Amino acid sequence: MSVPSLLGVFAHPDDESLSAGGVLARHATAGARTAVVTATWAADSPRAAELAEALRILGAGTPRMLGYADARVPRSAPDGARFCDAPLDETVRRLVAHIREFRPEIMVTHDAYGGLSGHPDHVHTHRVTVLAAHAAGLGRLYPDAGAPWRARALYLATHPHTAVSALRDVVGEHKAVYSVPDEQVTATVDVGPWTERKIAAVLAHRSEVRRGALPGRIAGLPPEARERLLGTEWYIRHDPASAAAARTGRTELTV
């Protein structure tokens, strides 16, 4: 059985590794085409070079960067608009072009909360990706962006309530954490065999390690704690047109 091609869409360099590094590595190892679109940071920035190294480790091709500015870091794209401020039609069209060019069978992105942190760029990436995943299949929308293509399913990277306690030591007790009821999770993926590659990809984001962001806190953990923390990924399947497939329990991310 062939493993489906996979396109990830995430807000910042490092989100791909933290949120879906195991699934990306798993699909790539099985011979599937994998790629990542990153919404923010300029292609000539140091973080773009770190992203390229992380994607090499994960087997996810070369960076596909939309080049918008991080909502909290204007220097991330000095000549670009903040991602959250850019015209919605523009951002959707640009992502549709990537979807139609890559033609993924499945896609992954942030959940509606924007993951644990609730970062506004994460939340906006979720919105744009949901819109683009549907628009890409409609030929009369953005006809200049390529031939229509519809992915079989879109999966939202998330965390169930029961996983949060294990993360508190890393994310910090004082920070708000966004998670979902366990019953909303439709795919729980054991990425243990690919955790080493996932961790290496996270640590490739060296500027985030140095400044003590989440990759830096992960770098400070003992190896067994890193593996325990990053060895499982959770997803919510989001595709109203494929509700019947969802009811059967089919989860392409676990093949």
The C-alpha atoms of residue 16 and residue 47 are separated, in whole angstroms, by: 13
DSSP run (H or E) holding 67 = strand 64-68
What is the torsional sign of CA 38, 39, 40, 43? positive
Residue at 224 is within a domain: yes
Give all strands of the β-sheet with 153-158 in edge-to-edge order. 64-68, 34-40, 6-10, 106-110, 153-158, 232-238, 187-190
Reading the block at residue 215, the tokens are 């990759």
CATH number, domain of 150, equals: 3.40.50.10320
DSSP state, 11?
A: S
Residue at 157 is within a domain: yes
Q: Which residues are paired to 65 by β-bridges? A: 38
pTM: 0.92
Helix (H, G, I), strand (E, B) or coil at 40: strand
Residue at 163 is within a domain: yes
Cβ neighbours of 212 (radius 10 Å): 11
Range of the structural domain that residue 126 is part of: 6-254
Residue carrying structure tokens 């031939």: 147
| Overall domain count for the chain | 1
pLDDT tens readout for residues 70-81: 999 999 999 899
Among 59, 7, 80, smallest CA distance to 38 is for 7
Residue at 1 is within a domain: no
Residue at 17 is within a domain: yes
pLDDT tens readout for residues 116-157: 999 999 999 999 999 999 999 999 999 999 999 999 999 999
In the chain, DSSP finds a helix count (H) and a strand count (E) of: 10, 7
Residue at 229 is within a domain: yes
The C-alpha atoms of residue 57 and residue 228 are separated, in whole angstroms, by: 20
Helix (H, G, I), strand (E, B) or coil at 191: coil
Helix (H, G, I), strand (E, B) or coil at 217: helix
One digit per residue, the tens of pLDDT, for the chain of length 255 reads 688 999 999 999 999 999 999 999 999 999 999 999 999 999 999 999 999 999 999 999 999 999 999 999 999 999 899 999 999 999 999 999 999 999 999 999 999 999 999 999 999 999 999 999 999 999 999 999 999 999 999 999 999 999 988 776 676 655 778 999 999 999 999 999 999 999 999 999 999 999 989 999 899 999 988 988 899 999 999 975 554 444 445 566 744
Reading the block at residue 98, the tokens are 């990537």
Residue at 19 is within a domain: yes
The C-alpha atoms of residue 115 and residue 39 are separated, in whole angstroms, by: 15
